[in-house]
Structure 1
Amino acid sequence: MSPDLLPPVAPSVTADLVEALSPRLRGRLDAGIAKLAARPLVRDGDTVRIAVDDDTDLELHAPGGVVTSADAIRCGCLLAPGCLHRAAAASAAPVAQDAPTAATPAPAGQESEPAREGGPGRGRSPRPGSSAGTTAPDASFAPDAPAVSEAPAADLPSPAQLAAAHAVFDAASDVLDAGTDGSGAVLQAALLRAAHTARLAGLPRAAAAAVSVVTGVRAARCADPAYRLPELADALRDVLAVAHRLPSASGPALAELRGTVRQPYTPDGSLRLYGVFSEPVLTATGHAGAVTWTADAAGRLYTVSDVAPGGPGRATGAADRTVRIGDTALTHRELARAGLAVSGATVSPAGRLGAGARVRAVRASGADWSAEPLDRLWRVPVAEQVAGALAGGRDLLFLTVTLAGPVREATGDCLLADCEGRALRLVAAHDHPALPCRDNLRLLAAARGSRLRIVARLTPGPLPRALLLAAEHPSRSDARVDLGLDRLRHADLPTGTAVPAPAVAPVADEAPLHLLRRRVHQTVSGGRRVLAFPGGGTGDGPRLRRAGLGTAGDLLDELGAAAADRSRDAFGRLLPADTGRFARAWLASALYTGEVERALCAAAWGTGREVTTPAF
């Protein structure tokens, strides 16, 4: 049984079933999940049936595709309804978004659609490149759900929101303390309960971030090939940061931390759009699909998306689904190379096109990347594009590069390219084997010396690096390739080329920020205990200070001290750990690392942004 075959289960349902177990059964829950995963599964309409044994079946009823109540999971064993099987099935299934209780009306003159953004700290376009446990787990593609709104008397957090924020922080702290290795179904259920409480209290941003963490932890524990430790670390940082800041926030800062489930779509008249490229979506919250990027005559970008709960199969199949705008019969794959004429258009602040009843759209001619109006996207100076992305704008880069061949780094192979004299490292946008990203990157490495226009997504770091999304065809000037959806063949390469073996990338002379980043990531994987070992990290603090990163050295020392801080009672027994102190120390280190990496990224790309270290 694959978890992808199970219907999504609402967080509150999983939490209820796990909390109803006896302490003895909770201790056996993770083993029960593993055992259930080996059992056969049959889907019959809205019902999924699992054969627990030869005489017992477990059924999940998902009207509308989502399990929304504990009664919808039924087991035929003698211990039901208090059996282990129901909780194990809910814990193994993908996490669905809660169905909130009330709706927030849109302002007059605006349409209101479910928010496609609201990931922590983002005022930018959606990031479809996220995968399970990854890019930065993004709430950009949360499923359609009515909004929830709790309006406090003053512009301050309400008592319910304060309680919910504390619950989220405590539950996420417990997950961090245990690490992915120790965060079994019981800790996951506690975080899902906190997410449900946050959504009911009117904190959709905290709720979505908490769900992303649970999904990432599950991906780590089941060895999902798309799992990436750095992006789960980003998800934990985001949920802890939101929950930590919210109690002391007010005004616009509080509104940002609360987040939204619905966002306004304002009328934008008639639009003439030209397809740029399409990319698959595979998010940390268990959603998949495709997004097509288009541009108008002025170079403004718009997106058309088809994202719903699903796995890699939906990500590859969505490209051939019809675009859901007006009466057009274009698929996403076709729109990426054609165009649209839209009347009565509605657009979100992030540039997402609405699909309201009054919107009309018909197919129109497209444009080459080298022709107007798309050519202007590549005429924007690279440093200006990077500066805009680091300032919170769109993180897409439109670059002209010369391919230099593959290089091998500690994190894997990448494609080295020259971009206006900079050594740019291009990496695959997705690692999942069902998507062709990595195979296409390997084949492009054979086109050494080719000068191509590409579309990439900025990856902040001390060296110029980006996720490769689309490129001109290596041997046909009139074609382009969506590298997450189209699959290159050897016949597509220039004549006489062969895929070279990766060279070893030269070691760059850079600030040793990796010493702190490594500890941040190790904690996510192994929990507090990996830092509490005697001698762990000895010498790293002084080395950071010698390199001029005094704050980093202090943060690393505090992280180690918080990990080792365990008191004993009068009988010599260990007292419960102070997970709050450890979580705050880790959060400060994670925030500092991210900010310094952005500053170093700005310097590497020559944006002119001053490289300063943040104060904490």
Structure 2
Amino acid sequence: MSPDLPPVVPSVTAELVGALSARLRKRLDAGVTKLLARPVTRDGDTVRISVDDETDVVLHAPSGAVTGADAIRCGCLLAPACLHRAAAASAAPVADGTADRDPDPDGATGTRDGTAQADRPNAESEPETATPAQHAAARAVFDAAAAVLEAGTDGSGAVLQAELLHAAHTARLAGLPRACAAAVSVVSAVRAARTADPAYRLTGLADALAGVLGVAHRLPHATGRELTDLRGTARQPYRPDGSLRLYGIFSEPVLTATGYAGAVTWTADADGRLYTVSDVAPGGPARATGAADRAVRIGDTALTHRELSRAGLAVSGATVSPAGRLGAGAGVRAVRASGAAWRDAPLDRLWAVPPAEQVTRALSGAQDLLFLEVTLTGTVREATGDCLLADCAGVPLRLTTAHDDPALPCRDNLRLLAAAGGSRLRIVARLVPGPHPRALLLATEHPTDPAARVDLGLDRLQHADLPPGALAPPATDAATGDEAPLHLLRRRVHQAVPGGRRVLTLAGNAPGDSARLRRLGLATAADLLDDLHAAAADRARDTFGRLLPADTGRFARSWLAAAVYTDLVEQALCAHAWGAAADEEAPPART
């Protein structure tokens, strides 16, 4: 996947790949690899790939994304039925048409009264169960995602990706934007894995696969509110919220695997309710850093995101989405107002909530920001890099970076903060569910000036900002022990993602794994592990001893059951580690 190319909507990629002959499909992966190595030039809305000295592939993206097959043109003799157009679409990021964003400053996502037209309640016309078209679309998404899991990322070339994108397009047409977005996220993660993208994370792809399989599996059987949630909404509705007096808290960069970038600024009102102002559009790391210095798109204010994070905003005629995002409709008015320090009212009330209560709120599906007061105690070395150790009300906490892209200062700032050991700081972090208390560090008080704050993804700390004589201590090695033998199941779940079914077939069930799980009280985990290996090895033969086609559905369901179980147990362990109360009624995060 090349960040230099504009995003391409799923239907375009599916159409171009589907039009290839069987012979060209076999050559598609090699064509993508070759195209990724060729020079790319951009001229406004036009991107040109030099295939050779005489042939160019041209992509037109006037709206920031390629929305039609005719917008990708090739100058070779075989065009338009050539391999180059399909390879270009397969090499580009996937445009997520269902992304939750406000695409224009006029607030076109809502109606005049602030409510999205598609989200108006209509109990008489909305069916209680999924329609036949939605049943078929959900089945198509499940089968395509199961095929990706069957092959693993190593075997999921451009053809399998295109089949999943085609299923995503079918889901969107059937009114299933959540399934469409989940399928697109899987394709983006698979492409990141196959191109050795530094931002790729195995756990992220496993979560994405579990998410799309879970939604597609549950949707045909859902009714009522569950069905509404599984369908999702293409755009979040914006509803009137009167006048608001907001105080900036911090800004963070946005950099997604689907080719979108920008900045989001978090604010709060006097009651502690959180609101966000975002500027996200197709782009890469340069746009993520540059968006912080662009004016926010609310009213006539000239405040930039960086300035708003430390100032305030008075809004009249505000429209707000259920997630707290401020709309930018024509009737919204906003002017600059004074801000507040983190230790002053009204923002100080955010840090007055006990950490355990904040974690409980995050695990229940609400916003996952944590407002903590910590004492930095050192660093620990992990496989993915060093992370900060901190004490949070007696809880040993590990703080890691939110982004690893070298264009962002997150990693450098974390290294410098390690030299401020012993400092007691207020921070803003995002919860990472797991057996040990862990969070992504987003913003912090200045190490030497409590009245100032640092946005870790946008501001760059200097040695002069540290306390006198500060010196980063050597990192210690992370503890190798696991909190429970749950890793025996988790590692099999993760092994299947890059290697597919064949990895579990070859690995087999290590002697004693299931027995150890049962001995320590994890009988369900042991049963799931046995079933996962049995599903992987289940290959029947015909009369002549030839292997019959594998039952991808059974393997996908067994894998999904293990992934969901692991997720739920890890949430329970996370709540226990923080001293929080686990929400037994909360659905698993992945599905």
Normalising by structure 2, report the TM-score.
0.94
Contact 1:12 1:98 in 2 (8 A): no
Contact 1:98 1:196 in 2 (8 A): no
Ranges in structure 2 where 5+ consecutive residues have no aligned partner: 100-107
Q: Is 2:417 the counterpart of 1:444?
A: yes
Q: Is 2:461 the counterpart of 1:488?
A: yes
1:107-506 aligned at under 5 Å gives the runs 109-112=113-116, 154-506=127-479
Distance 1:38 1:506, change over 3 A: closer
Residue number in structure 2 paired with 1:527:
500
Q: Is 2:12 the counterpart of 1:39?
A: no
**CA displacement 1:102-145 (0-9 Å, x = unmatched):** xx996894333999xxxxxxxxxxxxxxxxxxxxxxxxxxxxxx
Report the Cα offset of residue 89 of structure 1.
0.4
Report the Cα offset of residue 513 of structure 1.
1.2
**CA displacement 1:435-459 (0-9 Å, x = unmatched):** 1111111111111100000001111
Report the Cα offset of residue 41 of structure 1.
2.0
Report the Cα offset of residue 478 of structure 1.
1.8
**CA displacement 1:516-568 (0-9 Å, x = unmatched):** 11111111111111100153443221111112111011101111111111111
**CA displacement 1:376-419 (0-9 Å, x = unmatched):** 11011111111111111111111000000101134432111011
Ranges in structure 1 where 5+ consecutive residues have no aligned partner: 116-146
Contact 2:508 2:533 in 1 (8 A): no
Contact 1:516 1:593 in 2 (8 A): yes
Distance 1:407 1:24, change over 3 A: same
Contact 1:415 1:425 in 2 (8 A): yes
Aligned length: 578
Q: Is 2:551 the counterpart of 1:552?
A: no
Distance 1:175 1:383, change over 3 A: same
Which amino acid in 2 is paired with 1:531? L
Report the Cα offset of residue 509 of structure 1.
5.9
Distance 1:366 1:565, change over 3 A: same
**Counterpart Cα distance in 2 of 1:495 and 1:575:** 70
Distance 1:551 1:70, change over 3 A: same
Distance 1:503 1:274, change over 3 A: same
Residue number in structure 2 paired with 1:574:
547
**Counterpart Cα distance in 1 of 2:556 and 2:579:** 35
**Counterpart Cα distance in 1 of 2:417 and 2:126:** 58
Distance 1:382 1:168, change over 3 A: same
Residue number in structure 2 paired with 1:25:
24
Distance 1:518 1:89, change over 3 A: same
Residue number in structure 2 paired with 1:126:
none
Report the Cα offset of residue 44 of structure 1.
2.6
Name which of structure 1's ranges 72-81 and 159-168 shifts more when overlaid on structure 2. Answer: 72-81
Q: Is 2:81 the counterpart of 1:79?
A: no
Residue number in structure 2 paired with 1:589:
562
**Counterpart Cα distance in 1 of 2:98 and 2:410:** 35
Distance 1:154 1:267, change over 3 A: closer
Residue number in structure 2 paired with 1:143:
none
Distance 1:51 1:285, change over 3 A: closer
Residue number in structure 2 paired with 1:7:
6
**Counterpart Cα distance in 2 of 1:363 and 1:153:** 43
Contact 1:113 1:263 in 2 (8 A): no
Structure 1 SS opposite 2:419: coil
Distance 1:356 1:408, change over 3 A: same
Which amino acid in 2 is paired with 1:532? T
Name which of structure 1's ranges 582-591 and 51-60 shifts more when overlaid on structure 2. Answer: 51-60
**Counterpart Cα distance in 1 of 2:116 and 2:162:** 32
Residue number in structure 2 paired with 1:68:
67
Which amino acid in 2 is paired with 1:62? A
Report the Cα offset of residue 92 of structure 1.
0.6
Report the Cα offset of residue 64 of structure 1.
2.0
Contact 1:401 1:420 in 2 (8 A): yes
Contact 1:596 1:613 in 2 (8 A): no
Structure 2 SS opposite 1:424: strand
**Counterpart Cα distance in 1 of 2:585 and 2:66:** 49
Structure 2 SS opposite 1:155: coil
**Counterpart Cα distance in 2 of 1:521 and 1:556:** 13
Residue number in structure 2 paired with 1:127:
none
Structure 1 SS opposite 2:237: strand
Report the Cα offset of residue 285 of structure 1.
2.5
Report the Cα offset of residue 507 of structure 1.
4.3
Report the Cα offset of residue 7 of structure 1.
1.6
Distance 1:386 1:333, change over 3 A: same
**Counterpart Cα distance in 1 of 2:408 and 2:132:** 46
**Counterpart Cα distance in 2 of 1:323 and 1:314:** 14
Contact 1:113 1:262 in 2 (8 A): no
Contact 1:596 1:612 in 2 (8 A): no
Report the Cα offset of residue 613 of structure 1.
13
Contact 2:432 2:438 in 1 (8 A): yes
Residue number in structure 2 paired with 1:89:
88
**Counterpart Cα distance in 1 of 2:583 and 2:113:** 42
Contact 2:152 2:501 in 1 (8 A): yes
Which amino acid in 2 is paired with 1:423? P
Report the RMSD for the aligned CA atoms in angstroms.
Answer: 2.3
Contact 2:436 2:577 in 1 (8 A): yes
**Counterpart Cα distance in 2 of 1:507 and 1:51:** 49
Residue number in structure 2 paired with 1:141:
none
**Counterpart Cα distance in 2 of 1:283 and 1:614:** 25
Residue number in structure 2 paired with 1:140:
none
Residue number in structure 2 paired with 1:144:
none
Distance 1:614 1:453, change over 3 A: closer
**Counterpart Cα distance in 1 of 2:581 and 2:322:** 28
Name which of structure 1's ranges 296-305 and 428-437 shifts more when overlaid on structure 2. Answer: 428-437
Contact 1:531 1:537 in 2 (8 A): no
Normalising by structure 1, report the TM-score.
0.90
Report the Cα offset of residue 99 of structure 1.
8.7
Aligned-pair identity in percent equals 74
Structure 2 SS opposite 1:373: coil
Residue number in structure 2 paired with 1:119:
none
Structure 2 SS opposite 1:64: coil
Report the Cα offset of residue 463 of structure 1.
1.1
Structure 1 SS opposite 2:429: strand
**Counterpart Cα distance in 1 of 2:97 and 2:336:** 37
Distance 1:259 1:534, change over 3 A: closer
Which amino acid in 2 is paired with 1:63? P
Structure 2 SS opposite 1:477: coil
Report the Cα offset of residue 70 of structure 1.
1.5
Contact 1:266 1:348 in 2 (8 A): yes
Which amino acid in 2 is paired with 1:492? D
